[in-house]
Chain A
Amino acid sequence: MAADNEKCVLVVGGGIGGISAALEVAEAGHRAVIVEKTPSLGGRVAGMHKYFPKLCPPTCGLEINYRRIKANARVEVIVDADVVSLDGVPGDYNATVRIRPRMVNDKCTACNDCVAACPVERPNSHNYGLDSTKAIFLPQRLAFPMKYAIDTSVCPGASCAKCVDACKAGAIDLAMREQTRVLQASAIVWATGWKPYDASRIQNLGFGRIKNVVTNVMFERMAATDGPTGGRILRPSDGKEPKRVVFVQCAGSRDEEHLPYCSAVCCTASLKQACYVREMYPDSKVEIFYIDLRVSGTNEDFLRRVQSDASVAFNKGKVGQILEDAQTGNLTVVAENIEGCATRRVEADLVVLATGLVPEARDAATPSVIARDDYGFGVSDAKRAIEVVGCAREPSDVAASVRAATAAGIRGVQLGARR
């Protein structure tokens, strides 16, 4: 069993990549510490309704992983925290970790009594602002740790303190201060993941202006049983069931004005989302506008399955414009149709933009030991025991992220074995 002062593998980022890396290291017999920025582990996958191509729920794998963490004393999880400095040499890194005050301590039993008492609302970031939570909130249903958190940017603090009175466990401490910890690490796994490209920058597609144009990440929440609509796909303008849904691929990706690279997962993700629509509304029609259908490997079986559905149309061509009928909220998608060399106009109730992936580290303060390319993707350096994995390194699907994370864990074994 690991002693407290034993060096760890420092895993930055608690999404599926970071969780996997830490667990693989720990189950191989070494200590791993996950530093996660948000109040819960889970990362982007926790916002997904299902995974392609199996259409299975991400919570299934997260739950197993959380159980592995609970059962393994060699993994430590620090949430609400940032790595503010990182320096040293392989086998001997020093990381300064700043932990933001959550205002809720480990006594929290997740009983929810505080929520009824809290008078302040905030947009629910987990649901991309599609609904709201109270200022004290459970970050997600399957949160890890299963503890509430306070959004200090909206909480009035001690002047209100109604939650403090409501909490029978004595878990709320509005005087909680920022903490700093210094960790000694043998190796670094950088797994800070991705964020969706800001779709409002693609002006011709109308996101932000037109209510019924949503992004693929929002659409995942709209389909999820723990999402803002309890798993019913309803269009934002009027709550109607969308029966004509258009998916716009490469919304930002493969575009030198936005993201010059391909985001790798969006094609297969849209196939998956087409399945959500078709399953929920059997009389629905789906059309997918694409440049190339990048559905590699055996995911081709999944593509063939979706293509066999006569109500899902595929159209090679870029979408030029999306027009809104202000009265009905209905949309007209204007697109080139390369295969027919013509312009097409398609009526739709809802348009989903397959927005691409941006490495989270692109715009975030990142220690200089982590090298980054022009796009903000991190670059691994095995000799320095720094491994960048998952979407922090390149656009990757879940399985590829986990493979890279597992491989990265071996640095911990190697540097552990040497001492």
Chain B
Amino acid sequence: MDKVGFFLCTGCGIGDAVDADELLKVARKEGKAVCAKAHDQLCSDEGIKLVRDEIAAQGLDAIAIAACSQREMTHVLRFPEVVTERVGVREMVAWTCKADDEDRQMLAEDYVKMYCVKAAKNTPPKRLEPEVIRSLLVIGGGVAGMNAALEAAASGYQVVLVEKSAQLGGLTALWHKRLPRGGGYARAEPNDIGALIATVEDNKAITVAKSTTVASIEGAPGAYDVKLEGAVAGTYKIGAIVLAVGATPYDAGKLTSLGYGATPDVMTGVEFEKLAKSGKLVRPSDGKAIESVLFVQCAGSRDTDHLPYCSTVCCAASIKQAGYVKEANPKARTYVLYKDVRTPGLMENFYREAQKGGTVFVKGTVKSVEKKNGAVQVVADDALSNDELQFEVDVVVLATGLEPATKDGASILNLAYRQGKEMPTRAHGFPNSHFICFPYETQRTGIYAAGTVRQPMDAAAASTDGIGAAMKAIQCVESASRGEAVHPRASDITWPDFFLSRCTQCKRCTDECPFGTLDEDEKGTPKPNPTRCRRCGVCMGACPERIISFANYSVDMVGSMIKSISVPEEFDEKPRVLCLICENDTLPAIDLAAQLRMEVSPWVRFIPLRCLGSMNLQWVNDALIKGIDGVMLIGCKFGDDYQCHFVKGSELCSVRLGKIQETLTRLMLEPERIKLQQFELGDAPKLPGIINEFVEKVVELGPNPNKGF
């Protein structure tokens, strides 16, 4: 931008902490601001008017505001007519700097220069408004998929519902009755799946493609080309995708230790449902009416030899099945052998009713199962008495668990993506979100998992989940149509611009994007897919040629901010430390520390980044060559329980820093001058201590010998 104006708020203690007139001079001279004004409460009506008047009078196209944190007063310090950059001198200078006047003033002056140049290096982003296709592809015709399809259709979207098998209904269609979904949660409900299937099949906005699978998916949110194969072959234009392919019952053939396979009278819960549905609850071996049943819980689940997780629905399902037996014959004996009875929430009533109805629940584990004297004999350890228990029953029902249909990289989506054909999965093969607060987050923008494929859940939860995923899919298409990013940078209209004539086809950007945004041509040149992009800037950080930039965020911009920091030669008094911080978690932590008026070293200069993953090594180079004595990078935790909103930004930053050794050797610098710090917002009051400790370490190391060159 050409005409940058600078505005300083002197309220909230800022005016007492700094020499405002000097700062305005710095803004005009070093910051090259065409105007610089101060006000004692910039967020007041009068203050806003001052800014507005100056914008008009000077014809400003960008402004830098030094006031409270960019996180505060966003409802008033809003000037959409110009590029606006804000720096929180209240938090980063007035409230946290207890140093003498000279150091504090130098700190404030650096921020004035850094943010004037930041505003100058900015360009107004151009909003992309691509044509989008308002249609969803829903893969999987179980309760999750059908609910997703119906609600999307009711939202004005066209839907293509793909089901691999010849029928809709998924696992739920196999059940005799359904688990309670309300009304006191006391009794199983009739299976009404047929009505739901009919509603879906009658809906004109839904193309039902049974006996059909997805051959390939090309493109990006708002504009996918989906090729189907099977009964309903063809190519469809699709806006976004719901992955609701469900789960499969665990293979009972692996449960021979529980007697499966030895006699037909040991069966799975699914097989028992079929029996109940047939209306004849008889022993498979000889057709005798069933008078006693033992339900064995966690048949495969909660077992590190089989499924290490809990399959969530089996306890309630066995209770429901015990009900079938009692209903047919109130005198029948029903036992449930369990580890823990897991009927959380209101489903507790269902458990209590079963207990009242005479089903006996025993905590224990199966030792042996055999067919003897015409009955099934089960020996179990009673966990409560440590005694051995013997059961002689007509039938044993194994409560087998659920495995996600995506396990072992099953071929489902067939994405024509550079980073692979399928959705990345997490623990145990579930393509679940890693984020508790953001359960629909995926690493493939525009594709949302729902139902039992995502995690074990009952049909009621899967129905809700399908609707939630449809909502996210619709939202993704609508956001794409406005040129906006989806979570977590929702509303961001910038996107990475590639200066491809200087691309060396090193493939780092296409490889590192956490969301599989970029594809490649034959030579390896990246092909941007803007609507897949989350705007985190990981590609920008990865690029060694520095050819990737955003209108308001670039290697040059941050580099220029670093270069504008004054580095005094007299180290003993004035070392300098650059802190590149995650704006999502570390910046608010600084604000919270400032709220507590905690002290931060006056030698530190903070620059917030979109994500630590956008850190380009050039910035560390710039800082060290300039004579800055230490560089700290503070971002989110990584590893299995990562907290980075862009999945692996901070981890990628760490990997990149591993490559800086060469630079350090060339500049004759110790590796301790660079530090990556993992940090979480909940620890905000600890942040100043962590930073100050690093500064002390840098002081011990002595000055960067490159000062003054």
Q: A7 to B624: give the CA distance in the assembly, Å.
A: 55
**B344: which of A226, A231, A264 is its contact (CB, 8 Å)?**
A264
Query: Which chain B residues border A130 with CB–CB below 8 Å?
Result: none
Q: A230 to B598: give the CA distance in the assembly, Å.
A: 14
Interface string of A77-114 (1 = CB under 8 A from B): 00000000000000000000000000000110111100
Question: Of B20-28, B335-343, B416-424, which binds chain A?
Answer: B335-343
Query: Which chain A residues border B68 with CB–CB below 8 Å?
Result: 109
Is A367's CB within 8 Å of the partner chain B?
no
Is A280's CB within 8 Å of the partner chain B?
no
A57 and B680 contacting across the interface, CB-CB below 8 Å: yes
Query: Which chain B residues border A54 with CB–CB below 8 Å?
Result: 434, 436, 641, 643
A60 and B184 contacting across the interface, CB-CB below 8 Å: no
Q: A403 to B680: give the CA distance in the assembly, Å.
A: 24
B151 and A410 contacting across the interface, CB-CB below 8 Å: yes
B344 and A56 contacting across the interface, CB-CB below 8 Å: no
Question: Of B166-174, B226-234, B462-470, which binds chain A?
Answer: B462-470
Q: A65 to B475: give the CA distance in the assembly, Å.
A: 16
Is A142's CB within 8 Å of the partner chain B?
yes
A28, A138, A293, most chain B CB atoms within 10 A: A28
**A27: which of B352, B383, B427, B479 is its contact (CB, 8 Å)?**
B479
Query: Which chain B residues border A63 with CB–CB below 8 Å?
Result: 584-585, 588, 681
Question: Of A157-165, A177-185, A297-305, which binds chain B?
Answer: A297-305
Query: Which chain B residues border A128 with CB–CB below 8 Å?
Result: none
Interface residues of A in 254-283 (CB under 8 A from B): 254, 260-264
Query: Which chain A residues border B637 with CB–CB below 8 Å?
Result: 56
The smallest beta-carbon distance between B625 and chain A, in angstroms, is: 34
The smallest beta-carbon distance between B491 and chain A, in angstroms, is: 4
B348, B461, B683, most chain A CB atoms within 10 A: B348
B682 and A296 contacting across the interface, CB-CB below 8 Å: no
Interface string of B422-442 (1 = CB under 8 A from A): 000001101011111111100
Query: Which chain B residues border A295 with CB–CB below 8 Å?
Result: 310, 342
A292 and B341 contacting across the interface, CB-CB below 8 Å: yes
Q: A57 to B678: give the CA distance in the assembly, Å.
A: 14
Query: Which chain B residues border A55 with CB–CB below 8 Å?
Result: 641
Is A218's CB within 8 Å of the partner chain B?
no
Is B73's CB within 8 Å of the partner chain A?
yes
B348 and A28 contacting across the interface, CB-CB below 8 Å: no
CB within 8 Å for A49 and B490 given contacts A297-B312, A394-B345: no
Query: Which chain A residues border B352 with CB–CB below 8 Å?
Result: 260
A107 and B44 contacting across the interface, CB-CB below 8 Å: yes
Query: Which chain B residues border A68 with CB–CB below 8 Å?
Result: 487-488, 490-491
Query: Which chain A residues border B154 with CB–CB below 8 Å?
Result: 410, 414
Is B309's CB within 8 Å of the partner chain A?
yes
Query: Which chain B residues border A365 with CB–CB below 8 Å?
Result: none
Q: Number of A interface residues, CB 8 Å?
A: 89
The smallest beta-carbon distance between B381 and chain A, in angstroms, is: 11
Q: A384 to B440: give the CA distance in the assembly, Å.
A: 26
Interface string of A375-417 (1 = CB under 8 A from B): 1010100000000000000111111101110110110011001
**A407: which of B156, B343, B430, B468 is its contact (CB, 8 Å)?**
B468
Is B592's CB within 8 Å of the partner chain A?
yes
Is B389's CB within 8 Å of the partner chain A?
no
B595 and A112 contacting across the interface, CB-CB below 8 Å: yes
Q: A107 to B68: give the CA distance in the assembly, Å.
A: 13
Q: A373 to B186: give the CA distance in the assembly, Å.
A: 13
A230, A374, A395, most chain B CB atoms within 10 A: A395
Is B284's CB within 8 Å of the partner chain A?
no
Query: Which chain B residues border A394 with CB–CB below 8 Å?
Result: 345-346
CB within 8 Å for A61 and B437 given contacts A56-B641, A230-B685: yes
Which residue of B has the minimal Cβ distance to A107?
B44
B68, B74, B310, most chain A CB atoms within 10 A: B310
B182 and A379 contacting across the interface, CB-CB below 8 Å: yes
Q: For chain B, which range describes its interface: under 10, 10 to 19, 20 to 34, or 35 or more residues?
A: 35 or more
Is A310's CB within 8 Å of the partner chain B?
no
CB within 8 Å for A51 and B436 given contacts A110-B595, A260-B348, A294-B340: yes
The smallest beta-carbon distance between B110 and chain A, in angstroms, is: 24
Is B246's CB within 8 Å of the partner chain A?
no
Q: A61 to B584: give the CA distance in the assembly, Å.
A: 9
Which residue of A has the minimal Cβ distance to B68?
A109
Is B684's CB within 8 Å of the partner chain A?
yes
Is A134's CB within 8 Å of the partner chain B?
no
Interface string of A304-325 (1 = CB under 8 A from B): 1000000000001000000000
Interface string of A39-63 (1 = CB under 8 A from B): 0000000000111001111111111
**A57: which of B11, B302, B479, B681 is its contact (CB, 8 Å)?**
B681
Is B396's CB within 8 Å of the partner chain A?
no
A399 and B436 contacting across the interface, CB-CB below 8 Å: yes
Is A151's CB within 8 Å of the partner chain B?
no
The smallest beta-carbon distance between A163 and chain B, in angstroms, is: 16
Is B702's CB within 8 Å of the partner chain A?
no
Q: A398 to B43: give the CA distance in the assembly, Å.
A: 36
B11 and A28 contacting across the interface, CB-CB below 8 Å: no
Is A29's CB within 8 Å of the partner chain B?
yes
Interface residues of A in 150-191 (CB under 8 A from B): 168-170
The smallest beta-carbon distance between A362 and chain B, in angstroms, is: 14
Which residue of A has the minimal Cβ distance to B342?
A294
Is B349's CB within 8 Å of the partner chain A?
yes
Q: A44 to B244: give the CA distance in the assembly, Å.
A: 31
The smallest beta-carbon distance between B14 and chain A, in angstroms, is: 10
**A49: which of B304, B311, B682 is its contact (CB, 8 Å)?**
B682
The smallest beta-carbon distance between B396 and chain A, in angstroms, is: 22
Q: A64 to B465: give the CA distance in the assembly, Å.
A: 22
Is A240's CB within 8 Å of the partner chain B?
no
The smallest beta-carbon distance between B44 and chain A, in angstroms, is: 7
Q: A168 to B41: give the CA distance in the assembly, Å.
A: 9
Query: Which chain A residues border B427 with CB–CB below 8 Å?
Result: 298, 301
Query: Which chain A residues border B44 with CB–CB below 8 Å?
Result: 107, 169-170
B471 and A410 contacting across the interface, CB-CB below 8 Å: yes
Is B575's CB within 8 Å of the partner chain A?
no
A395 and B470 contacting across the interface, CB-CB below 8 Å: no
Is B455's CB within 8 Å of the partner chain A?
yes
Q: A299 to B11: give the CA distance in the assembly, Å.
A: 49
Interface residues of A in 193-250 (CB under 8 A from B): 224-226, 230-231
B490 and A339 contacting across the interface, CB-CB below 8 Å: no
A297 and B457 contacting across the interface, CB-CB below 8 Å: yes
A29 and B488 contacting across the interface, CB-CB below 8 Å: no
Interface string of B466-482 (1 = CB under 8 A from A): 01101110110011001
B482 and A29 contacting across the interface, CB-CB below 8 Å: yes
Query: Which chain B residues border A106 with CB–CB below 8 Å?
Result: 75-76
Q: A300 to B343: give the CA distance in the assembly, Å.
A: 15
Query: Which chain B residues border A2 with CB–CB below 8 Å?
Result: none
Is A332's CB within 8 Å of the partner chain B?
no
Query: Which chain B residues border A413 with CB–CB below 8 Å?
Result: 155, 471, 474
Query: Which chain A residues border B308 with CB–CB below 8 Å?
Result: 300-301, 304
Given A57-B682, A230-B685, A377-B346, 20 more pairs with CB closer than 8 A = A24-B472, A27-B475, A27-B478, A28-B479, A29-B478, A60-B585, A64-B584, A261-B348, A262-B345, A294-B340, A296-B342, A297-B310, A298-B309, A316-B384, A341-B384, A402-B437, A402-B438, A402-B439, A406-B472, A414-B155
B residues in contact (CB < 8 Å) with A: 11-13, 41, 43-44, 68, 71-76, 151, 154-156, 182, 184, 302, 304, 308-312, 340-349, 352, 363, 383-386, 427-428, 430, 432-440, 455-457, 461, 464-465, 467-468, 470-472, 474-475, 478-479, 482, 484, 486-488, 490-492, 584-585, 588, 592, 595, 636-637, 641, 643, 645, 680-686
A-B contact pairs, 25 of them (CB 8 A): A27-B479, A59-B588, A59-B682, A60-B681, A61-B436, A68-B490, A71-B491, A72-B490, A142-B588, A142-B592, A168-B41, A169-B41, A169-B44, A225-B686, A292-B342, A293-B340, A297-B310, A298-B432, A316-B363, A402-B439, A403-B461, A406-B440, A410-B154, A410-B155, A410-B467
Q: Which 8 A-B pairs have the closest CB atoms?
A: A57-B682, A61-B437, A407-B467, A407-B468, A406-B468, A292-B340, A264-B344, A28-B475
